[in-house]
Amino acid sequence: MADIITLTINPAIDTSTAVGRVTPDHKLRCGPTRRDPGGGGINVARVARRFGADVVALYPTGGVLGQLLRRLTDREDIRSLSIPIAEETREDFTVSETETGQQYRFVLPGPRLSEAEWRACLDAFVSFEGQPHFVVASGSLPPGVPEDFYGRIAKAANEAGTKMVVDSSGAALKAVVKAGVYLLKPSLRELRELADRALSGERDWVAACRKLVTDGCAEVVALTLGDKGALLVTRDQALYAPAIPIKPVSTVGAGDSFLGAMIWSLCSGHGLQNAFRYGVAAGSAALLTPGTDLCRREDVERLLGDVNIRTI
């Protein structure tokens, strides 16, 4: 039985490279190319697997890029449950400027899924043998998939007694909170969209997170704040961890690294505060890796002692 099953309904090949400077109207001679399996849930699976979790990644695949996605996921020693679709899997691009340290991220639209295809993904989760401890639904919804797709997954998870974790945005996020989940991991922008107000400081952040808990939207809210750190809020506690001072090599995958390490920690029997510590360390460790790579376990373990958590 898997500890974790991740669902990535809009996966991608994440391609990264570097160039001196991005300028218009010129051929830009790039450095070596790196390709990784991508999409929020797949990234969470990659991190959890690096820590030793037994994880299964569920995702649709189409065309030549879909075949490559499956091979790259296999390379990460992750068990895949891939659902065939007619259209080509998407590819995203990250280009880093070596002269300035700036990073440009180009996110392409996903393939359109037919009703039969997205229902096949839903059915694959519902009929999954065994009962994982956690299901992590992460990332955007591609064209053709209804806004309440994650809500349907949450309903099935709740009925099966599996803890549902969600990291999404926009209409998909607003729809899933109505179903109620175990853990939400919004960014500050996403929390503002849910609260429909500015949320100008720590007190507002905690209040908005706690309202999600008291309204039955989630038992735990892990709010990532970029260079301001992160918050963990439940009905009974609120914890804050400032960001670890690190000069970033790449910001790609920091949120997914945070979530992957945190869910692995919870699966390992750690308490919420310790899991939060691992999440913050992993999000920081992701900043040390180039391109579309994610956190390395050795960096996470090294940074654990630098995570300072205080009760609010």
Give per-residue pLDDT as tens, 42-61: 999 999 999 999 999 999 99
Q: What is the pTM of this model?
A: 0.95
Is the pLDDT at 303 greater than 90? The verdict is yes
14 has catalytic annotation: no
Q: Is residue 94 part of a domain?
A: yes
Domain count, the chain: 1
Domain annotation covers residue 143:
yes
Radius of gyration of the chain (CA): 19
Dist CA 223 CA 237 (whole Å): 14
| Domain of residue 199, CATH code | 3.40.1190.20
Is residue 251 scored above 90 in pLDDT?
no
Is residue 27 domain-resident? no
CA 276 to chain centre: 15
User: Helix (H, G, I), strand (E, B), or coil: what is residue 112?
Assistant: coil
Give the pLDDT band of residue 294 (cuts 50, 70, 90): very high
Q: Which domain holds residue 177?
A: 4-20+32-311
Beta strand pairing status for 34-38 and 55-61?
Answer: unpaired
Residue 159, classified by CB atoms within 10 Å of its CB into exposed (0-12), middle (13-18) or buried (19+), is: exposed
Q: How confident is the model at residue 106 (pLDDT cuts 50, 70, 90)?
A: very high
pLDDT in tens, 257-288: 999 999 999 999 999 999 999 999 999 999 99
Give the integer Cα–Cα distance in Å for 116 and 208. Answer: 37
Out of 36, 256, 293, 299, pick the active-site residue: 256
Reference 5, options 67, 80, 70; nearest CA is 80
